Amino acid sequence: MKMVLILLLLALAAIIVLIFLWQVLGFRLQDPDDYAGSGPNFDLTRHLNGQLVSEGTIFGPLSRVNSRFVAQMDGEWQDGTGILKETFIYSGTGHVQTREWTLTLLGDGKFTGTAPDIVGTAQGKVSGATARLSYRIRLPESAGGHILSVTDWMYLMDNGNIINRSEMRKFGLKVAELVATIRPKGN
């Protein structure tokens, strides 16, 4: 009887560890190649072009809503380089945040991105119906000025809208998650 109890406790511990690892690592273990055969094909120059609207929610480390926003975005591409201007308006506070990305296509689905609050250069890859972008972002001083590691995944839907899911980490621990839609203005 004692041995059965020990085995049950070990099995329970193993299940808890697996659930923990899945929760901690699952999002980060996605690979662009996992989506290579998916469609429709995500084309940055087409799907992040023109006037766009994004609506989203940012969740804190305990999965509670920290803030909500609506963003106006404007993308323009020329010769493999895109400028994506973003203006976020946060619900409740009315706080306005702007960012201007410069995205550069490198070939073979790879691209890079820079913006004033991005530390270094963001690395991206498009594959099938997805685009992944990894970078480090410096938060404004009003938010502590911390530098977070971010992984953005954008999933293109059949209707041309994009689901954006981002995970933000500090010292390897998830501190925030963003879920948003991006769609052409007027849709």
Per-residue pLDDT tens over the stretch 30-43: 788 888 988 899 99
CB 44 within 8 A of CB 103: yes
- Say whether both 15 and 68 belong to one domain: no
- Say whether both 89 and 151 belong to one domain: yes
CB 99 within 8 A of CB 110: no
pLDDT-based confidence at 61, cuts 50/70/90? Answer: confident
Q: From residue 147, give the alpha-carbon distance in Å to each of 10, 76, 153, 182.
A: 39, 28, 19, 25
Q: Give the Cα separation of 109 and 44 in Å (integer).
A: 10
Q: Give the Cα separation of 50 and 134 in Å (integer).
A: 23
- Say whether both 49 and 89 belong to one domain: yes
Q: Which residue has the higher pLDDT, 111 or 186?
A: 111
What pLDDT shows up at residue 172? 84
Does residue 1 carry a pLDDT above 80? no
- Say whether both 48 and 105 belong to one domain: yes
Q: Give the Cα separation of 113 and 133 in Å (integer).
A: 8
- Say whether both 134 and 44 belong to one domain: yes
Q: Are strands 50-59 and 96-107 parallel, antiparallel or unpaired?
A: unpaired
State the residue for tokens 């490198």. 106
What pLDDT shows up at residue 25? 60
CB 100 within 8 A of CB 73: no
User: What's the domain count of the chain?
Assistant: 2
Note the pLDDT tens digit of each residue in 95-134.
999 999 999 999 999 999 999 999 999 999 999 999 999 9
State the residue for tokens 């380089």. 81
pLDDT-based confidence at 8, cuts 50/70/90? Answer: confident
CATH number at residue 119: 2.40.128.20
Q: Give the structural domain span for 44.
A: 32-184
- Say whether both 62 and 138 belong to one domain: yes
- Say whether both 15 and 65 belong to one domain: no
- Say whether both 161 and 70 belong to one domain: yes
Residue 130: partners with Cβ closer than 8 Å, 6 or more residues away: 32, 35, 38, 42, 153, 154, 155, 156
- Say whether both 75 and 137 belong to one domain: yes
The radius of gyration of the chain from alpha carbons, rounded to an integer in Å, stands at: 19
- Say whether both 19 and 36 belong to one domain: no
- Say whether both 5 and 95 belong to one domain: no
- Say whether both 51 and 7 belong to one domain: no
Does residue 23 carry a pLDDT above 70? no
Q: What is the mean pLDDT of residues 166-180?
A: 93
